[in-house]
Amino acid sequence: MLLRVVPGEDYTETLGRAWVSMTGPDGKSFLRMFGQLREQRERSLWPGFRRLATTDWLGPLETGLASIGRAGSSTMVLAVIRGLMMDLDATADVARVDRAFHELLCSLNPAAPAPPERG
């Protein structure tokens, strides 16, 4: 999973790579599917998806954020990531949303590197 701790790497760098992967060309179909499934109610093709799509992320985020002394921030980080993903899906404004994501990383670690360049 993209959110797992990478030994020897600051977790904000891990989050940056995960963000680019999830929201870049390889992740576009995921973003569309995620948006469609998120909007469906419980009688959807995938009952319980909205809850599972939230709780699945919390464990890896908690572990990763604990590695930088921010274990209690997993719900906030998940909420921001999900909100930015919805924003990106709705507006396609990659530069603006990427800047906002970098602000999130800097709130977790002021020395956080910018996410990798999109190629």
Measure the CA–CA gap between 105 and 70, rounded to whole angstroms.
11
Helix count (H) and strand count (E) of the chain? 5, 0
For 72-87, write each residue's pLDDT tens digit.
999 999 999 989 998 9
Q: What share of the chain is helix, strand, coil (3-state, %, to 5)?
A: 70, 0, 30
Q: Between 100 and 47, whose confidence is greater? A: 100
Q: What is the pLDDT of residues 31-67, one digit of tens each?
A: 776 666 666 665 566 677 777 777 889 999 999 999 9
